[in-house]
Amino acid sequence: MTVENKSVGLLDRFSLSGRRALVTGGNRGLGLAFVRGLAQAGAEVAFVARDHERNNLALEELANEGIAAIAFDADITEKSQIEDSIDWASEALGGIDILVNNAGACFHADAFDVPDDEWDAVFDLNVKALFHCSVAVARRMAKSGGGSIVNIGSMSGLIVNRPQNQPAYNASKAAVHQLTKSLAAEWAQYGVRVNAVAPGYVRTEMAPVDRPEFKRFWIEDAPLGRVATPDEIAPSVVFLASDASSFITGSVLVADGGYTAW
């Protein structure tokens, strides 16, 4: 066997050919990059998000790149809409092998000033919806022989961001990391792996990375000296979704340009 042939065998493990994936919050930012990356790795991909127009715009953008995805309008903080989304995706794709829990929200506020409704909005989406989506999909995965769940955590679950205060978000992402480990341990017996990716700052609508007051802390505090683009985080999701990570479960893969090293 030539060296070239051997390397094809290894790269095959990263392939998602024949896999069916569902991404939450897939109409922009990181979620859209994950839809694109999973599809480029060979998966059939569905996503859910609330905004019908933006869902269609994302589908159009993908179609222009030759990627056929499908979308469902749903607010995943409503449990009934989670059930509807998962029923829809399972039927449309013929099953779900990969779930990427990406939808998330962040507000900047000092702890003394955090309104209850903002605290609840962050935890309802970042933690509770992620939990309910995971349970609903893992039930099906357990029956069909397994699957891979990738949660989008954050370096905010590991460090405290500055100069902005965001206590609810930081606590919610620490919860995502610990929930990842908890579900991984519980569902290993069903062949369901559960891992998380913890990105640093990424240029999306959520993160105003170009505001001058943030440069000193967001850019200069990262050893790589820059923020990421969403497509730089997608390969980590593909890796954890694929058989290339078959012995990895309960892990948090940090993709932060070295931010948490300092």
Catalytic residues: 169
Structure tokens at 204: 């999306």
C-alpha separations of 206 from 50, 97, 209 in Å:
16, 28, 9
Q: How far is the CB of 204 from ligand NDP (least distance, A)?
A: 3
Backbone φ, ψ for residue 97 (5° rounding): -100, -20
Q: How far is the CB of 24 from ligand NDP (least distance, A)?
A: 6
Please report, as ranges, the residues that interact with ligand NDP according to CB under 6 A. 24-25, 27-31, 48-51, 54, 75-77, 102-106, 125, 152, 154, 199, 201-202, 204-207
Nearer to ligand NDP, 105 or 194 (CB): 105
Nearest to 24 by CA among 125, 118, 119: 125
Strands ordered across the beta sheet of 252-255: 70-73, 44-49, 20-24, 98-101, 147-152, 192-199, 252-255
Q: How far is the CB of 222 from ligand NDP (least distance, A)?
A: 11
Cβ contact 152:104 at 8 Å: yes
Q: In angstroms, rounded to a whole number, what is the distance separating the alpha carbons of residues 109 and 225?
A: 26
Structure tokens at 239: 């890796």
Q: How far is the CB of 53 from ligand NDP (least distance, A)?
A: 9
Nearer to ligand NDP, 114 or 142 (CB): 114
Q: In angstroms, rounded to a whole number, what is the distance separating the alpha carbons of residues 254 and 258?
A: 9
Structure tokens at 168: 């609810």
Nearer to ligand NDP, 87 or 243 (CB): 87
